[in-house]
Every structure is written in structure tokens, then in C-alpha cells.
Structure 1
Amino acid sequence: MTRLCKGVEVEMYTGTFQGQIEGLSHRIVKDLNGFVREPDSRNVEYTTAPLSCYDRLLCALVRPRQRLRSYLQQIGDYTIVPGSTLSLGDSKKFYRSDPINPYHSYIENSYGTDVVTASIHINIGISDPELLMQACRLVRVEAPLYLALSASSPFLDGRVTGYHSTRWQMFPQTPENVPFFESHNHFIKWTEEQLKLKTMQNVRHLWTSVRPNGHNRPYNLNRLELRICDLIADPITLLSVIALLECRLLQLMDDPTLDPLNSSQLSSDSLVEITHHNEMAAAKRSLEAQLYHWKDGSEITATRWIEQIYQSVAPFAQKKGFSCFLSPVKKILRNGNLAQQWLKKYQLSSDIPSIIAEEIQAVAQQEKMLEDKLCDALLVA
């Protein structure tokens, strides 16, 4: 059993050092290779190549951000703004990045700024389509745990929303009803039906917590894509979440009974129902959320569930030599995710702009340190 290939899609906001988000993607994609636009110009995205080595993945995450930071400083007093929602606004207006793109028109008219969020999509390579379907089933029932670890959007338009992940609470999951796919053939037939019904505009228009992915969806698939995570600005924290996901998939490959359709006491429809409940509960309270376990429907806190999984998968990380990248998960459980940290600061000062500005500086300094100490050394090696 080898390490799995991992690639990451990173959506980010750009704006001022005071946390005001500004639409700059039309300039960025024109001048910088490796960045692509989203429908709203306040987002920009880059994607890492699929890599099995965590050291190299770390640098693949950090280097584009450093190039982007340098560019943003050249064109004005701009930087990368953390968080997964428009923390300081403006969620009332959609700023089109490509006014003549018909799909962007559909997005704006159908969803408005509910989709103007920043997030992390984690792709894990799995070439066997039936194993991929198994993996998607397991990750889907446990996706709320990854949301709980990553939540970073407690603010919107300069106010506290009451959610730790405002992004996932408002993001339009599409189509509305998505079953657990029993096989690759089931996924193909279901997708073809959705396209005929126009509940999906194209094969990319499957906006769920996790989906099978590949260059010719739904027919040729080669990876699992976890889409539920808020933006994880800290690269070390992000790698720990990726490591937890990889370990869980390695564990599934070692023990196929982890497939929920084979080992749960609940029906497929019940699994869909409790998974939706768990996602919303995690969006509300993240690590503090009361969830229902997919095996038997018993109640368990997100933190306790993650602790149990961590203990069960740690031997896989040890065996594969990346325990050091998995272990920061314990720090998240101990210190809280970014949303929880921000809310604690808010209780002391109620000054959201200062909280965002402080985080901007902290993330920039950490990325510079990582590049100087690790990535430059790796490049020489």
C-alpha cells in the first residue's frame, strides 16, 4: 500500500490589509500563470499538481500564494484575505469576473452571492471506479467532521452570523437530493438523468460535500474530491486535515467493511438524512456539534468522533512516514478551529476588522517562514 496522490484546489479572496475584499481576479489571471477566475471577481483560485509527498505538497501550496502576495503588492496595497465568507461585506452585490460568460450568468441569476465563498477542495487519487464509489460513500458520511475541523466563516457583512461555517450553511448544495451511489454505473445513470432534467447544468454542477471526479465525468473517474472544507489558511493545519483524509481512505482499502452501505445499521435513505443533519450541525457549531454516527445513529460530538478516527488511523500515518503531518489535528481539537478562535477574540473586543487584519498578518508571516525554512531547502535538495 503506497501513499495516495493528493491535489488541492484553493479558492481565496483578495483585498486590502484591513480586510476589505476587492475584485482583482481579472488582473491576476491576466498577469500570473497558474491562477483562474471564479464567477465573482473577488475570488481567485489555484490548483496544486497531484503529489504523494507532503513536503512537496506544502511547497506547492505556499509558493503560489507568495507569488500572488508579491504581485498584489505591486499593483496596490493588496493581499490575500482569510476566511470563507465576505466577512466585512459586500454580500448584496455580485461582481462579475467575466460578463459575457453564459454559465457565470446562470450562477449569478440562480444563486447570487451565496456562492461567493472561499474554500478548499481536496482531491485524492483513486483509479478503481468501484473503490472510488466506496470511498465517496465513507467520506460523505464523515464529511461533517472535516467541516468541523476547517470552519472559518463566522462573520458576514461585518456581523456574527451564529454559524461557525456560514459558507456551508448558505452554499446551495445541488441537486437538492443526491443518493448514495451504489456503483459506478449507478452514478453514470443518475448523472445522465440529472442532465436531462436540468437539475444539473453540466457534469461539474454537482455541488455536494464530496463527489467522484475525473477528466470525463461521469464515465472516466480517477479521484475523490472533498468539497465541504472552509478555507484553511494555515498550510500546516491544511496538511493535517489532508493527512487525516488520506489515512481514512487507506484504512478503507485495508478494511472494506468500513463502507457504510455494507456495515451501517441504517438504510441508505436514513444515511442521507442524518448526513444532511450532521452537515448543518457542523456548520452551526463545528467541533462542538452533536452529530449522529452513521453506523448506528447514536449521538456523538464532532470532537469525540474525530478523536476516535484519529486513534484508529494513526498507525497508517506511522507506517507511511507522515505522522508529523497528521499530528496537528490534535492541536485543532485542543485550540479550536479558526472560526472558534475568531469568535473568542470577538467576545473580547467585538472588532471584526481588527480580527481579520491580525489574521492577514499572521498567515503572511507563517507562509514566508515556511517558504524560507522548508521550501527553499527542498528546492536545493
Structure 2
Amino acid sequence: MGSALTTNGPFDLGVEEEYQVVDPQTWELRSTIHAILEKDLEDGVEEVRAEFLQSQVEANSRVCRTVEELRSEVRRMRRDAAELARSLGLRLVAAGTHPFSRWTEQQVTHGGRYAALAGELQEVGRRLVTFGLHIHVGIADPDLRIRVMDRMRPYLPFLLALSTNSPFFEGRDTGLCSYRIALFAALPRTGLPPRFGSWSAYRRTIDRLVAEGMLADPSFIWWDARPNPHVPTLEVRIPDMPTRIEETVCLAAWVQALAVKLAREPEPPPLPRFGVEIGRWQAARYGLKARLLLWADRPARTAAEWVAPLLEWLDDVAEDLESRKALAYARTIIREGTGADRQRWALEETRDLHRVVARLAEETVEGARDH
């Protein structure tokens, strides 16, 4: 490890993965989180957590110093969660939406925070049958955490483009590569984070909204990137849930490298928020073909075309972080397609969304079983 980790670091890593719980007889979502949690407690492992929907479980990694540590963690998380599901006759699927299960048939998890969410969000919350990847980078200095979040905003559409994995919803091709983002847009307190400039400015805004009764607490903010309300991390929430383990590792490596680079270098000329928002829509609609503006002094290019110059720009940081291989997996995504591309190709081949889900279930645990 080199000097990049000394800039108010340690820039360590963690991820949260949201999995679909499916019935292998029908490949439909199954609202069965309570049975999974009870089995988890019986085993004394506590590998998974409940989420808003009973057909969804979340697994959290330990804090990892390097992407290699994270790779081992993601393998463990998927192996243990999949074994837990299998013990109940179920399977896990990693993707941003389920290709054909209907949102009206999903059950909301009861109690506490979830009751409050259901009460506020009503129909827009019940429609939110989506699954994401949340990537945490440790930044101890709160002012630096906010500055990195401010500077990260232009790169969020690029991260979304790499991760796009939700083309189908309720049995239809939506025409988007990330329909999850379109569903999420109906919720309050989502989208690009505002620019704050400092931790004190962020806290003043949040504290005022809480005091006025307009916000319960900061955990009810779901921006594409946010200061995590519980631990000193920047949490990037924009990616769709990747199917392949290596995609999760790649995206985490990009977030970590960008955080270190943006913390180390002077602030570049900011891009207009509207331009970043258009790029965000482009990424959700077109995936790797999205046209994005990342740097004020460079013309727009597609997400795929940005990979090479960004890898070159991040190379010094990648050396310090020992993450070149994980970052370069973006080239594999370009070559083999995003999750959305591969789902569409699978449907062209099989003409059956049930078989698409079966293939997703197999791919979710590839590389996890033997480690």
C-alpha cells in the first residue's frame, strides 16, 4: 500500500448486496424473509438482513482493506446466503429487477422502520421491487467525505452504465438498461446529491429538515451517493445489483480509486448539474452506449469510450491500491456486455423469461461455491 491511503484515509471498502429470493419451481419471487431470518438465527450465523420487501435479503461485507479482500468477502457472502436459501428450497438471484414477477404480489416487511416507510411512500414504495449494490469507502474526515461526494457526482452515471442490470419488469422489456433507476425516481430524496462544500453545510441542511418535521433522520435520504448516517463512509448507491461477483468487485474498485483520486487532486471545474442529470438518464436508458460528460474540458463520449482514458487517469492510484486488475474488468464488461445486455441476449436465445431467471440464479453463485 502506498501514499494514496494516507490522505485522510484509510479508504477501506465494504459492500451491501441485495438479493432476490426466488422459488426454483416457478422462478417467481417468494415473500419469505421471515423463514430465512429464523433459519439464519437457528444456524447462529446471522448472514443476512431483512429489507423493505419480504422477497429481498441483504448481505453485508466486513470492512476490507483491498479489493482482493473484498473479492473473498463477496464470495463468502454469496455462498453463505445461497446455502441458507437452498436449505429452505429457495434460490438467490442477483439483478436490479426481477424479469416477470408482479409488484402487486410482493409483501412488505412488517415492523419498525419498514412500517414508517410503507406509511410514507404508499404506492410508490410498494412498486419499488428493485435491488441495488451499495459501495462504502471509508473517509474519516467529514469535510473530505463531503468534498469527495461533491466531486464524485459526474462519475455516478458512468458507474450506473457499467452496472446496468434491470431491463425487464413484469414480463416486458422496458427499453431501458436500468429500469430500477426509473422506478427509484418516483421516491422522494433520491437522485444526484446536492453540492454542499462542507460537512457543516450538510449538517445544517439535515438538522433543519429534521427539526421542521420534514425528515425523520438522515437514513431516509437515498441519493445516488450519500454520507452514511451510521459509519464514516461515503456510500455510493447508484449501481444496479450485479449478477457476477467480478462485477461487484470491479465497481467497488472504481469507487475506491475515484474517491482516492478526487481526495488527492485539486477540484476540477464543476459540470452543470443538468448535464450530469442528462448523463444519468442516458446511462439508465442506453447503458454502455450512453453519452456522458465527465470533464469540463473534454467532449462527451460513450460510457464504453470513457473506460480507457479513465483507467489511464487512475493508474497511479490503482498502483497504490493494487486494484489495476479489478478496474480493468470494465474492459470485460464492454466485451461481454452489461448484465442488461446479457439478460436480453439470454431471452433472444431461450425465448423464455423463466429460463433467463434460472440462468441468473446460476451466474449469481458462479465463483462462490469453491471458495
TM-score, structure 2 as length reference: 0.88
Instruction: State the SS of the aligned residue for 1:164.
Output: coil
Which residues of 2 match residues 302-381 of structure 1 at below 5 A?
302-369=303-370, 371=371
The residue number in structure 2 matching 1:376 is none
CA 1:198/1:19 → structure 2, altered by over 3 Å: closer, same or farther?
A: farther
Q: Deviations over 1:289-347 (max 9, x none)?
A: 12233525843212222332122112322233232222211111222211012122333
**In structure 2, which of residues 149, 153, 156 is the aligned counterpart of residue 136 of structure 1?**
149
Instruction: State the SS of the aligned residue for 1:14.
Output: strand
The residue number in structure 2 matching 1:272 is 273
* 1:161 is aligned to 2:163: no
**In structure 2, which of residues 111, 129, 132 is the aligned counterpart of residue 116 of structure 1?**
129
Question: Which whole-Å CA distance do the structure 2 matches of 1:121 and 1:47 have between them?
Answer: 9
Query: Identity, % of aligned pairs?
Result: 21
The residue number in structure 2 matching 1:7 is 14
**In structure 2, which of residues 92, 95, 110 is the aligned counterpart of residue 83 of structure 1?**
95
Cα distance, 1:222 vs. partner?
1.6
**In structure 1, which of residues 175, 189, 209 is the aligned counterpart of residue 189 of structure 2?**
175
8 Å Cα contact 1:174-1:200 kept in structure 2? no
Cα distance, 1:61 vs. partner?
1.5
8 Å Cα contact 1:120-1:229 kept in structure 2? yes
8 Å Cα contact 1:16-1:79 kept in structure 2? yes
CA 1:175/1:322 → structure 2, altered by over 3 Å: closer, same or farther?
A: closer
Question: Which whole-Å CA distance do the structure 1 matches of 2:332 and 2:16 have between them?
Answer: 24
The residue number in structure 2 matching 1:245 is 255
CA 1:161/1:199 → structure 2, altered by over 3 Å: closer, same or farther?
A: farther
CA 1:54/1:299 → structure 2, altered by over 3 Å: closer, same or farther?
A: closer
8 Å Cα contact 2:103-2:128 kept in structure 1? no
Return 5+ residue gaps in structure 1 as ranges. Answer: 216-220, 372-381
Give the number of equivalent residue pairs. Answer: 355
Cα distance, 1:194 vs. partner?
2.7
Counterpart of 2:56, as a letter, is N
**In structure 1, which of residues 74, 83, 100 is the aligned counterpart of residue 87 of structure 2?**
74
Cα distance, 1:214 vs. partner?
4.0
8 Å Cα contact 2:150-2:194 kept in structure 1? no
The residue number in structure 2 matching 1:31 is 39
Instruction: State the SS of the aligned residue for 1:342.
Output: helix
Counterpart of 1:155, as a letter, is F
8 Å Cα contact 2:16-2:61 kept in structure 1? yes
CA 1:305/1:75 → structure 2, altered by over 3 Å: closer, same or farther?
A: same
8 Å Cα contact 1:163-1:285 kept in structure 2? yes
Counterpart of 2:62, as a letter, is A
Cα distance, 1:6 vs. partner?
0.3
Q: Deviations over 1:125-182 (max 9, x none)?
A: 0011121111101222210111111111001111111111110111035326852112
Instruction: State the SS of the aligned residue for 1:8.
Output: strand
Question: Which whole-Å CA distance do the structure 1 matches of 2:30 and 2:120 have between them?
Answer: 20
Greater relative contact order (CA < 8 Å, ≥ 6 in sequence):
2
CA 1:289/1:167 → structure 2, altered by over 3 Å: closer, same or farther?
A: same
Deviates more, 1:167-176 or 1:26-35: 167-176
Cα distance, 1:272 vs. partner?
2.2
Instruction: State the SS of the aligned residue for 2:220.
Output: coil
The residue number in structure 2 matching 1:235 is 245
* 1:92 is aligned to 2:104: yes
Cα distance, 1:349 vs. partner?
4.1
Question: Which whole-Å CA distance do the structure 1 matches of 2:334 and 2:215 have between them?
Answer: 37
* 1:209 is aligned to 2:216: no
**In structure 2, which of residues 228, 235, 249 is the aligned counterpart of residue 225 of structure 1?**
235
Question: Which whole-Å CA distance do the structure 1 matches of 2:329 and 2:311 have between them?
Answer: 11
* 1:257 is aligned to 2:267: yes
Return 5+ residue gaps in structure 2 as ranges. Answer: 41-45
TM-score, structure 1 as length reference: 0.86
8 Å Cα contact 2:118-2:126 kept in structure 1? no
The residue number in structure 2 matching 1:186 is 201
What RMSD over aligned residues (CA atoms) do the two structures have, in Å? Answer: 2.2
